[in-house]
Amino acid sequence: MSNAASYAFARVGKRFKSSGQIAACDKHNERERETPNADISKSASNECFVGNNGKSLVDLVWEQIGDNGGKKIRTSADPKHSAVLAFEMTLSASPEYFRPDNPGAAGEWQMDKLEAWEQLSAQWLKDVYGDNLIRATFHRDESTPHIHAVIVPLNEKGHINAKNYIGGREKLAALQDSYAEAMQPLGLSRGIRGSRVQHEKIQDYYKSVNQADYSNLSVDELRAIAADSQRQMQRRNEYEKTALALSEENHQLKRKLAAQQQQIAQLQKLVDRSNELRVISLPEVALKLDMQPSEFDANRWYSSAHSVVIDGPQFRIAGEVDKGQGAIDLVMRLKACSLPEALLWLEHQLGSGAARAAAIEQVTMTAAEVEAQRFISPVQSKTQWPAVRGGLLKQTYLPSRLIDQLHDEGLVYADAEGNAVFIERNAAGDAAGAVKRDADGEFRRIENSDDAAAFYVIHPDNHLLERPDRIVITDSPTEALAKLTMERTAQPKQRNQYQSIGGHRAPLEQSRGVSQVSIALRRYGNGDGVAEAIYKVIPWATNEQPTELHQSQLKAEIDQLREGLKQSSSDKSREQKMQRLPSKDKTKDQGMGM
């Protein structure tokens, strides 16, 4: 397997200034003329995914331009002075991405990697260019898969203006940055920033290959040429790797420096007079709040109205679930006042600079808790979904309509390894985590999933982002769906949220503002402490521990229904048979004969 880095490529190609140039591009992309570097046997696999309406590319360009917003289109005998009607863009990635096991195998690729790249690339084109993207085609008949896209450069006024899109190095660099960022979930990186390497024209490349005359060379001479070419290629690869590493390192350093400079500027505004600032201890604030330390516990402080446990910069007030931190938070909670009032109180009680010191300390502690990593959903695999779907239905006994609905909503799908992916959401409904279920039914929460996220389904869901009437917390996503399936007709007017445990903060965050919370964990009491921990932070929750897994209960219900249907069918068949018997035989059959 290749260990080389993989890169995303976004290259702006030809600028079309006439209908003839546009028509020539159309013939090339549609394989209506000879293409030396294409495998004709694979051309049928090419796919036009935008602008596939039977119209020619020329017609599509002029339809999009229309009347050019009432402005005359600039034309000239000299093409340099004519307006750009459309431009072509090519998107691709390194061979090491498409075929990591054998990058040199031209025309081969791993289907899951191809599908993931095509999906993200197509979405990026549509997001960036919208209706101005008039045609885009997947080319799968050449050495490495790529996309040819044609864009009409209309500005907000409806005038063609290519400079707004591809005018100058900065815009081209920004375009490449944007595409590389969109490809990051696939592990693809950007090329060298500011590189002056020129792309060799395709026709020039073929010309140089075809015109080379090696007929008069000996075998030894040919071997020497091949060895020399190989050495040059190795040196070039080493230079490129070094240049890429230095370029990326330089870019990262610039970003860090800019972020540090911005942070320094913000802190400087708050610091003002740094000599006056000092760290404010919470015990000192507690004394000013008329609290007294406990004789038996140095961390516990009392007043006539409150009991507080102080642990360094953090504290917990008796009767409250959430911890607090910092002097400002302590004052706001105990005095039930606003932020400006708390700052003013600190300034009066502890002297000049105290409020600013507390503010900086609060910001520093908060920033330290925030994780910079952003959750990225696993890439879907359309080819794996049928097998994953079949496995879910067979192993969990969940209704196929429910699984298909969740799949259509993007909450359940398959990844390239054949795992079922269940998307976790926060209380606002945003995707913030994911859980993978393998073929053996084992669940694994992926990295960077938010601690407050969980997989959940609301039934009935009116999609108005309203809080549910009741939350049911279960062991896993499939347990949540099994519980929903068994209860879906029990309380038709009540909106129930069926969820898995999720992150350690999910039970509390998801249940805010919800009066009914049920803990339906099979694991309760088995020693792992999960359910017990939930009861501590949600003391109003009720225990609905099942005697067996909800999936097992669902299977039993289904088996019972099947047996009932079988028995009903048997009784009906017997009744029909009785009706066909003569009157005497009926009496005899019923045990009434003599």
Q: How far apart are CA 531 and CA 535, in angstroms?
A: 6
Question: Where do we find the tokens 């080379």?
Answer: 212
Residue 36 binned pLDDT confidence (cut-offs 50, 70, 90) = low
If you write DSSP's letter for every residue of 514-557 in order, what string do you get?
Answer: -SEEEE--TTTTSSS-HHHHHHHH-TT-EE---SS-HHHHHHHH
When pLDDT is averaged across residues 66-94 and rounded to a whole number, the result is: 83
Q: What pLDDT was estimated at residue 199?
A: 46
Q: How far apart are CA 285 and CA 583, in angstroms?
A: 99
Q: What pLDDT was estimated at residue 222?
A: 53
DSSP character at residue 281: P
Summarised one tens digit per residue, pLDDT across range 302-349 is: 888 889 999 888 899 987 777 888 888 899 999 999 888 888 888 888
Q: Are 553 and 560 in contact (CB under 8 A)?
A: no
Q: How far apart are CA 217 and CA 213, in angstroms?
A: 9
DSSP-based three-state secondary structure for 486: helix
Q: What pLDDT was estimated at residue 357?
A: 67
Q: Are 118 and 140 in contact (CB under 8 A)?
A: no
DSSP character at residue 326: S
Residue 233 binned pLDDT confidence (cut-offs 50, 70, 90) = low
Give the least confident one: 8-12, 157-161, 238-242, 473-477: 238-242
Q: How far apart are CA 138 and CA 476, in angstroms?
A: 39
414 has pLDDT over 90:
yes
In this structure, how many other beta carbons lie within 10 angstroms of the beta carbon of residue 203?
10
If you write DSSP's letter for every residue of 78-93 in order, what string do you get?
Answer: SGGGSPP-EEEEEEEE
Q: What pLDDT was estimated at residue 150?
A: 95
Q: How far apart are CA 582 and CA 589, in angstroms?
A: 10
Of 551 and 359, the one with more pLDDT: 551
Give the least confident one: 355-359, 440-444, 457-461, 555-559: 355-359
Distances in whole angstroms, Cα of residue 213 to Cα of each of 37, 210, 222: 20, 8, 11
In this structure, how many other beta carbons lie within 10 angstroms of the beta carbon of residue 141?
19
276 has pLDDT over 50:
no
In this structure, how many other beta carbons lie within 10 angstroms of the beta carbon of residue 489?
7
Q: What pLDDT was estimated at residue 33?
A: 74
526 has pLDDT over 90:
no
Q: What pLDDT was estimated at residue 273?
A: 41
Question: And the tokens for 585?
Answer: 């035989």
Question: And the tokens for 307?
Answer: 């009991």
Question: And the tokens for 479?
Answer: 């347990």
Question: And the tokens for 399?
Answer: 């209704």
Name the nearest CA neighbour of 154 among 85, 70, 60.
85
Summarised one tens digit per residue, pLDDT across range 479-519 is: 999 999 988 766 667 889 999 988 888 888 888 878 889 99
Q: How far apart are CA 275 and CA 309, in angstroms?
A: 31
Give the least confident one: 16-25, 219-228, 283-292: 219-228
CATH, range 8-191: 3.30.930.30
The radius of gyration of the chain's CA atoms, rounded to the nearest angstrom, is: 34
DSSP-based three-state secondary structure for 513: coil
DSSP character at residue 570: H
User: What's the residue count for the chain?
Assistant: 594
Taking the mean position of all CA atoms in its chain, how far away is CA 374? 9
Q: How far apart are CA 371 and CA 452, in angstroms?
A: 13
204 has pLDDT over 50:
no
Q: How far apart are CA 356 and CA 363, in angstroms?
A: 11
Distances in whole angstroms, Cα of residue 202 to Cα of each of 136, 150, 400: 20, 18, 50
DSSP character at residue 45: G
Q: How far apart are CA 558 and CA 397, in angstroms?
A: 8
Q: What are 133's strand-pairing partners? A: 151
Residue 118 binned pLDDT confidence (cut-offs 50, 70, 90) = very high
When pLDDT is averaged across residues 540-560 and rounded to a whole number, the result is: 87
When pLDDT is averaged across residues 107-111 and rounded to a whole number, the result is: 87
- Alpha-carbon torsion, ordered 228, 232, 233, 235, to 10 deg: 140
Q: Are 126 and 50 in contact (CB under 8 A)?
A: yes
Backbone region of residue 353 per phi and psi (left: phi > 0; alpha: psi in -120 to 50; beta: other values)? left
DSSP-based three-state secondary structure for 327: helix
- Alpha-carbon torsion, ordered 104, 107, 112, 115, to 10 deg: 130
What's this model's pTM, rounded to 2 decimal places?
0.39
Domain layout of the chain by residue ranges: 8-191, 276-369, 385-546, 552-589
Q: What is the rounded average pLDDT for all residues in the chain?
A: 79
When pLDDT is averaged across residues 372-379 and rounded to a whole number, the result is: 72
Summarised one tens digit per residue, pLDDT across range 86-95 is: 999 999 988 8
Residue 51, phi then psi, degrees to nearest 5? 80, 25
Q: What pLDDT was estimated at residue 136?
A: 93
